Structure 1
Amino acid sequence: MSSSDTCEPHHDWFGSLLTAGLVVGLIVSYLPQHFRIISKGSSEGFSPWFLLLGATSSAAGMLNMWTLQWGIVKCCKKLSFGSCVESLGGIFQVSTQWFMFTMILVLYMIYFPPHLKYAVATIDTHDMRGIQHVKTNVKTDTWRLSITLSWVVVVHMAFITAVTFFLLTSTTPSPEGVEAHNAQIAMWATFLGVSSAVLAAIQYCPQIFHTFRLKLVGALSIPMMCIQSPGAALMVLSIALRPGTDWTSWIMFAVSGVMQATLLIMCIAWKFRQRRLHIDDFGHPLPLDADDPSAPLLVAGDAGLPVSNAMGQAMRDEVYEDEAGMQEEVSDIEIVRAMLGENTPLLKGGRRRNTAGSGGSSGSRGKGWFKAIRRASGN
């Protein structure tokens, strides 16, 4: 291929349509996750390590594509706008993926749960106030780690961007064409691609472990993963068809697709578990529906843990039996009082006149009093 043929436009309608569909699909797939964090007002459930690895992996993959297709980027000044956009489809694709994922990290920091930012001190006041929980200005380990890892993402992005464009602008392309890079650029592109794949391979490990330990979906978006998991195969195909790319350009998306599918299966399993326990994605009890036989009852005390309906019904039956027993005891007392009437001497030596005018002795009245008690007690 001569130098004059380097900037000739090459139309590939299948590749262009596939790339355009994937760019739109990436945006559509990430929007549910962005909207979920914003609407819930919480990013609880994300692992900061997952976000760090994902942001650095996508950044390295994006700059790998820029490096390998830099010659095509330079040709845009000789091509029409439409031909330029078509030729840069792969760059648009990986750049969109980097931007949309990095936005998750930004939203994670903005909507980090306030109650998890600062440590709470437990103080015993030794008075009627009892034990008090006081919020301090000391950052929690998770919040401090999130801040540190966010700065790592910023520094990493600034460093690899500076190195990439320094190499691209300070070297002269070889005359054989865009596919022939000098040794330094080729080594740097390989480093970016391999590091992106390695980071992507371990990216989902902390999130999978965090979600498994939490046993809750949290702020993770299942619709996003349902779209992206099968879409990873199309991403691999689209990038592999681009000129100037190699396995280092698409391996990151292949590894990410497999790991994300694993996380998706786990989240679906936890979704069924949450429904069974009648709790939301963050572990908070849902409003109970009296007509729903599957809804668990909440036990006051301990941690307010949900119990089964059968156990809850047994507890209610026990309470009802205790109340019934108390009512029977009260009824027995009322019967005795009714039978005794006004003729019962309540004080020793007391004298009352019989309302019927009978002149029975105090001894006979005492015997009647004991007989009434015996009849009331059933003896």
Structure 2
Amino acid sequence: MTKIANSRSHGPRWTALAAGCAALVAVVGGALPAAAAGGAGQGSAAVAAPAPRLDREALRELMAPDEVAAGTMVRVSAPGLRWTEATGGLSQDPAASFRIGSVTKVFTSTVVLQLVAEERFTLETPVQELLPGTLPAHWHPITVGQLLSHTSGLGLPCVAPENPQAPTPAAVIAALTDPACPAPEYPVTRQQYNGFNYFLAGMVVEKVTGHRYADEVQRRIARPLGLRHTYLPAPGDTAMPTPSLAAPSAVEPWAWAEGGMISNGPDLERFLGALLRGRLLPPAQQRELFAMPALSQGAQDRFSNAGLLRAELADGTVVWGKTGSMEPYTNGVFGTGDGRRVLVYSYTGVTRDPVAQRRRAEDLVAAAF
């Protein structure tokens, strides 16, 4: 696979955001262990088709509380199969909600691609044209497509924004573009995951539509798909729905279009399945989900033009998805390219060791596909 990871909160929220964008956490990468075959079974009119095989034993072993995770929820779905379990004191309610962290980015990129389909702009449109005055005039143009594919060359802020406990998106970008901070890499020579790309993408959504990012997600994705448990909390809203997967964290969350949403297993399963099957995007934009930018070649983390993580298992199975972390949860959602098999997982972490996080994600994905 490729690395799967995202912002984790450790310390003040601004520190957490910057650190999370600097290092990818909870990653899936490299050649994964061979997984059980996941094709639909053959049947006849007289005999029901068997459910696709699933290595439940391997999943349950991975879900046992240990030095990586205090508790784990896993949901796997495919035609003829729906399996959900939770361990370690996590809620057994299949509708339990959790903070999805940077899985939020997939919602953001989907809205952006819908706007491209509506000819509001193109993936080649410079951000400077859509958000005049937001980025320094001496910076080389950064396109919308570069934001989604993490090929913008953007670095990290070197100063804290105004009101760091509750910064506005504009304040976040102002800190990123402070004269004391280095300009983006140019020419860009590599694909480098950076959550700040998606703050700019969210700002583009609001500027072009004239509506709040949260409202556009509801209008374009959540309501059409019936995602009743998926939303972006208002700034300062620290409440969690009931039931929630685990007890709320003392850390006040905030990451907006980059990583701030709340959802649950059934909603994420429905969203990714619909996205991969082409229910949310026209054909031209659907192709961007799976098209890989040239700069992704040789990268440990390979993201598509639409910001989906591409992961290849040892048996050749390719899956697409995203990870995300927001205290106390570390999550992932992955599916086959046809959207017929989808994995959603969430666990409450014990360690922040990125190597251990990566291995856990690799193993969960390998056991589910």
Question: What is the TM-score with the length of structure 1 in the denominator?
Answer: 0.23
Does 1 or 2 have the higher relative contact order (CA < 8 Å, sep 6+)?
Answer: 2
Higher gyration radius (CA):
1
Greater share of helix: 1
